[in-house]
Amino acid sequence: MPEYISRILQTWILMIFLGLPGWISETIKAGDYLGIEENLGSYLSEDLVFTREDTSQVQLIDMIQMPTIIAPVYYNCPGLCTPIMDGIVQLLNRTDLRIGIDFEVINISFHEAETPELATSKKRNYTSLIDDQNSQQHWHFLTGDKENIGTLLETLGYSVMRNGEDILHTAAIMIVSPDGKITKYIHGTKYNPIEFKMAVQEAKSGKIVPTITRMMKMCFNYEPEGRKKQKTITILGFILMISIGAVLFIIYPPLKNKN
């Protein structure tokens, strides 16, 4: 291939490579970001107060006496929250640890309009799927006001975005130590019993467990424009990879068979 064509292709790839990050930053503004900034080693505030299923108020830190799963969800979510809670059900039925003896689970709604009555209904539905009857006493479904929810999400590094009455978010659970320190993030909606057991064991001593693999799911089920942006970026990334491959092929063509 003529050298001038090769140079044109290289220039084109360079322009895409340099311009793509700026285009993305303009397309997806800071307010559109949904995700998690892992605040490993941070402690839950002693001032956080939430409402139990029976409508009584409780300080969150007082509920944590052993390694505890913190699951930020909201109960009427038609997106990722159901798979998150289904994943917890599967985990509790597969792990050889005992809920109430080795660990506890606390679901906390981050939608301030949700009520203890709704939390009670969800608790009844999900704990009925657990083989261990201890789940009735040790899988908690809390609700709260906007201030306490905001403080909790900030501590967890958990970003959400309002869309009318709905909330866009990602999927993850956190493990905290008996003194309320965040020691582990487990991303996604499927939770490996072995990984979970190791996280619980480390949490007992307050040892932080960094995230090695991370599969993040984003709840864009209410944001068609957001999905369009993500799809466009994915396509551009694919084009970029193909273009780089083409340039490398031109610059370093395969060796011909000399035999």
Residue 175 to residues 64, 85, 105, 113, 189, Cα–Cα distance (Å): 11, 15, 9, 26, 15
Mean pLDDT of 230-247: 58
Mean pLDDT of 155-169: 87
Phi, psi at 39, each rounded to 5°: -100, 55
If one compares 218 and 128, the residue with the highest pLDDT of the two is 128
- pLDDT above 50 for 151: yes
If one compares 217 and 12, the residue with the highest pLDDT of the two is 12
Q: How many angstroms separate the CA atoms of 105 and 140, rounded?
A: 6
In this predicted structure, what is the pLDDT of residue 247?
A: 59
Q: How many angstroms separate the CA atoms of 16 and 57, rounded?
A: 55
Q: How confident is the model at residue 163 (pLDDT cuts 50, 70, 90)?
A: confident
Q: How confident is the model at residue 29 (pLDDT cuts 50, 70, 90)?
A: very low
- Provide Rg for the chain, Cα atoms: 23
Mean pLDDT of 62-66: 96
- pLDDT above 60 for 229: no
In this predicted structure, what is the pLDDT of residue 160?
A: 87
In this predicted structure, what is the pLDDT of residue 219?
A: 46
- pLDDT above 90 for 111: yes
Mean pLDDT of 172-191: 95
Of 88-97, 138-147, 232-241, give the lowest mean pLDDT range.
Answer: 232-241
Mean pLDDT of 130-159: 94
DSSP secondary structure of 55-116: S-EEEHHHH-SS-EEEEEE-TT-SSTHHHHHHHHHHHHHH-SS-BTTTBEEEEEE--TT--H
